[in-house]
Chain A
Amino acid sequence: MVSLIGDTAFIKGCAAIGAGLAVGLAGIGAGAGESGIGAAAVGAIAEDRGFLGLGLLFTVIPETIVIFGLVISFILMFAYG
């Protein structure tokens, strides 16, 4: 396989797949986490509008995981892309 496409191309390809997985899996994880938090936030906001700010804040907390994924993907792309 390596001999067919060459070392550099193989490494670049693996880095691109890794970058994709880092963002994709982090996105799925954050989505799963947000489903519960988002539902609870919507429930609380439906009863009392005062929870809008707090609800939004808690809902986006799992998004930090996606940022980590994004950082990893940038590192991979800049280092090997």
Chain B
Amino acid sequence: MISLTGKHATWAYIVARVKVMKRNLIPSDEYRKLLNMSFDEIIRYLEETAYKKEIDELAYKYSGPRLLDYALTLNLGRTYKKIQDVSFGLAKEIITEFLKRWDIWNLLTIIKGKMVGVSLEEIEESLVPVGSYTMDFWKSLIPKEIDEIIKTFEGTPYYEPLSKIGQVPLSEIDDELYKIYYSRIIAMRPSELALKLFVDFIKMEIDIKNIKTILRLKREDVSVDEIMKRVIPGGFELTTEECGKLAAMPWDELTKSLEGYWFGKGIEIADKDLSRIEIQFDKVWMKTVAKRASNYPISILPVLQYMILKKIEVDNLRILGWGKWNNIPKEEIETQLVIL
């Protein structure tokens, strides 16, 4: 019956498109080659991949790591926009909801850029043209003063945290904005399997974010109350109460108790650098998403998996580019990459 209503076909279409797009991602063994290349060689390598168009477009204006940065951002934005444009029905609704996180990214990019006096053109290059607002809207905000930008959001859920700019650290506002984004999704009451899979995916993402926050703040000896302020409520296994329990534990007990959670299996914490531990969580997260996506092949999960993999690739290339530009040893760069 599902096939007769055409619902199946909607998912089959978008999943097939995304699966073909996934073939264009840089394979993990290629990173070994990239690590041995110089910055210019990396750019030349990328000119033979999906990033060629963006590098060619921006090469007359920028050079060095800025060129790489803006080309990667532009490519990521275009890829997401394409997925959003070619999907329809419930798939489009879910993808649009997922991409609303870029509203916060764009908003914070403009505000942070204005605060540190980055040129208007460079702020524009850092924007990702997806989410609930159009690129023209974001462009119209760039020349405005910060107060005016905040006023533009009056009547939206973002206004309250934004109005605190100048009174509290920007990282707190950042957290508040993302809490609004996540709370809107987890408040959904999924009636369909597709929506339930999406909500569960987001809840698992919250778990990963929360555990990273807890470990980072615990390392810095931050108080339990302060940690709890930064935690995002509504995780898959890490509910607010669970987070409270973990935050109250001493470091050794905390690291041992992680074994009991879905993201804690096989994680080696010992005395490792925190960024390496975070990468391990990212890998577990991606493995779990891949497993769930293969369990539900005709659903939103393969699409979300691709979107996350694309973001990871862009982040990896950015780290690689900046690392090579600053002559950081390849071993050190490698530890910062999420190679799946």
Contact = CB atoms under 8 A, between A and B. Distances in A.
Interface of A: 32-33, 35-44, 46-48, 51
Contacts of A35: 3-4, 6, 8-9
B19 A44 contact: yes
A39 B9 contact: yes
A10 to B, nearest CB: 33
A46 B10 CA distance: 15
Contacts of B21: 47
**Taking chain A's interface residues, is the majority helix, strand, or loop, or is none over half, making it mixed?**
helix
Contacts of B15: 40, 43
A39 B3 contact: no
A38 B13 CA distance: 8
Contacts, number: 48
Given A44-B20, A48-B20, A39 B12 contact: yes
Interface of B: 3-4, 6, 8-10, 12-17, 19-21, 23, 86, 298
Nearest to B4: A32
Nearest to B86: A46
A36 B19 contact: no
Contacts of B8: 35-36, 39
A33 B17 CA distance: 19
Contacts of A37: 12
A43 B12 contact: yes
A36 B14 CA distance: 11
B205 to A, nearest CB: 26
Contact of B17 (A32, A36, A38, A46): A46
A46 B83 CA distance: 12
Given A35-B4, A39-B13, 5 more contacts: A35-B3, A35-B9, A40-B16, A43-B12, A44-B20
B3 A36 contact: yes
B4 to A, nearest CB: 5
Can you list the 3 inter-chain pairs with the closest CB atoms, starting with the nearest? A43-B16, A47-B20, A39-B9
The residue in A33, A40, A51 that gathers the most chain B C-beta atoms within 10 A of its C-beta is A40
Contact of B3 (A33, A44, A47, A51): A33
Contacts of A48: 20, 23
